[in-house]
């Protein structure tokens, strides 16, 4: 293979730049030309494509976001859009593609593979919700960002004897909530994977309040309901001074953690190695027991990524 392309798609996540850097540097070291496709599948359809050299990925390993920009493309979900993308790949002579993005982006990658383009995906999303991998690129940084926020909110909540409800991202997954909730010492964690029981939470709050502990932290995953709704329910049932913080997009940004830089670099280099074999390849990269794995796209439709309920139970049992 002489020419490969790389694009980032869906929500950005910290570590995407580390992956892009590794793809470009590994490709060039193997005499492969690497093309950057800007703005995800939109740029692929429109032909916003430029060759990347060693210097174009200098000074980016520590930066959040993605230098290639990203997008969500409805056009790519149509046969017509994908045919336009295919025509651009042919025009530039690009034979293989690395797609960095979430599960939607991987579905798009599968469609390209079915059209005869060798495609390897890197699981890039803060949500940690992709089948076949126990970690996604950006998740570790996002969890650390949430923990930092929990620590700060705790300081002020403790000073005012307040209950803090913190709404975190994760789309339909409770992963960020569970990991950050446990690591941040939250009293309760509300996630989509477990039935929401407001009484359990308010009973606990009243009990701890009676014991003299006047502040508590409750983490709510956005996939359940808004944090504001939970505040309303707590106030109505207990009358306790309760405030909400919605962390929002700050969870997506920031300098990637060491874990995400390492993952991005390892997956980036692996993607190039797979494409370089010259054989038709359609794989989703993942991580199992800290080893890189390459799964087939069929996993996207068969295996549901599960939240780690052991961590959830552990948090419940020690946050009393």
Query: Is 169 labelled a binding residue?
Result: yes
Q: Which of 12, 74, 127, 151 is catalytic?
A: 127
Torsion (CA) 233, 236, 238, 241 in degrees, nearest 10 = 80
| Residue closer to ligand ATP (CB basis): 1 or 221 | 221
- Residues engaged in binding ligand ATP (CB under 6 A): 9-11, 41, 72-73, 76-77, 101-105, 107-108, 111, 125, 127
Q: Which own/partner pairs from 285-290 qualify as long-range (CB within 8 Å, at least 24 positions apart)?
A: 285/120, 285/121, 285/122, 285/123, 285/133, 286/123, 286/130, 286/132, 286/133, 286/134, 287/133, 287/134, 287/135, 287/263, 288/133, 288/134, 289/134
> Distance between CA 19 and CA 124 in Å, rounded?
9
> Distance between CA 193 and CA 131 in Å, rounded?
16
Least Å from the CB of residue 117 to ligand ATP? 13
Q: Does the CA dihedral 37-280-10-14 come out positive or negative?
A: negative
Distance of CA 136 to the CA centre of its chain: 6
Inter-CA distances, 48 with 5, 13, 69, 92, 173, Å: 11, 21, 11, 11, 33
Tokens of 153: 């909110």
Least Å from the CB of residue 76 to ligand ATP? 4
> Distance between CA 311 and CA 49 in Å, rounded?
43
> Distance between CA 247 and CA 317 in Å, rounded?
26
Tokens of 310: 């052991």
Q: Closest residue (Cβ) to ligand ATP?
A: 104
Query: Is 25 labelled a binding residue?
Result: yes
Query: Is 288 labelled a binding residue?
Result: no
Least Å from the CB of residue 74 to ligand ATP? 7
Annotation marks residue 127 as catalytic: yes
Least Å from the CB of residue 31 to ligand ATP? 31
Query: Is 107 labelled a binding residue?
Result: no
Query: Is 186 labelled a binding residue?
Result: yes
Q: Which helix (H) or strand (E) holds 244?
A: strand 242-246
Query: Is 252 labelled a binding residue?
Result: yes
Least Å from the CB of residue 316 to ligand ATP? 27
Positions annotated as catalytic residues are 127
Annotated binding residues for ATP, written as ranges, equal 11, 72-73, 102-105
Annotated binding residues, written as ranges, equal 11, 21-25, 72-73, 102-105, 125-127, 154, 162, 169-171, 185-187, 211, 213-215, 222, 243, 249-252
């Amino acid at each position: 293979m002489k020419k490969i392309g790389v694009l980032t798609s869906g929500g950005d996540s910290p570590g995407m730049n580390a992956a892009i850097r590794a793809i470009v540097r590994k490709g060039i070291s193997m005499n492969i030309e690497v093309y950057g496709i800007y703005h995800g599948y939109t740029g692929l359809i429109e032909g916003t494509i430029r060759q990347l050299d060693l210097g174009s990925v200098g000074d980016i390993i520590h930066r959040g976001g993605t230098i290639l920009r990203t997008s969500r493309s409805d056009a790519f979900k149509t046969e017509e859009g994908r045919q336009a993308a295919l025509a651009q790949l042919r025009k530039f002579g690009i034979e293989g593609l690395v797609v960095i993005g979430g599960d939607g982006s991987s579905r798009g990658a599968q469609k390209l593979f079915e059209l005869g383009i060798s495609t390897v995906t890197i699981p890039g999303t803060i949500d940690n919700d992709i089948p076949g991998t126990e970690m996604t690129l950006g998740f570790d940084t996002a969890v650390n960002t949430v923990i930092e926020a929990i620590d700060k909110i705790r300081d002020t909540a403790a000073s005012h004897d307040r209950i803090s409800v913190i709404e975190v991202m994760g789309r339909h997954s409770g992963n960020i909530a569970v990991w950050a909730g446990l690591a941040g010492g939250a009293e309760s964690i509300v996630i989509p994977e477990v039935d929401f029981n407001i009484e359990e939470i308010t009973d606990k709050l009243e009990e701890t309040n009676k014991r003299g502990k006047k502040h508590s932290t409750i983490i709510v995953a956005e996939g359940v309901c808004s944090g504001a709704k939970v505040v309303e329910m707590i106030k109505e049932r207990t009358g306790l001074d309760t405030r909400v913080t919605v962390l929002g997009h700050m969870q997506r940004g920031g300098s990637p953690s060491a874990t995400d830089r390492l993952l991005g670099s390892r997956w980036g280099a692996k993607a190039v190695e797979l494409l370089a074999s010259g054989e038709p390849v359609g794989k989703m990269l993942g991580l199992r027991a800290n080893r890189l794995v390459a799964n087939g796209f069929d996993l996207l439709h068969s295996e549901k990524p599960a939240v780690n309920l052991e961590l959830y139970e552990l948090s419940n049992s020690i946050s009393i």
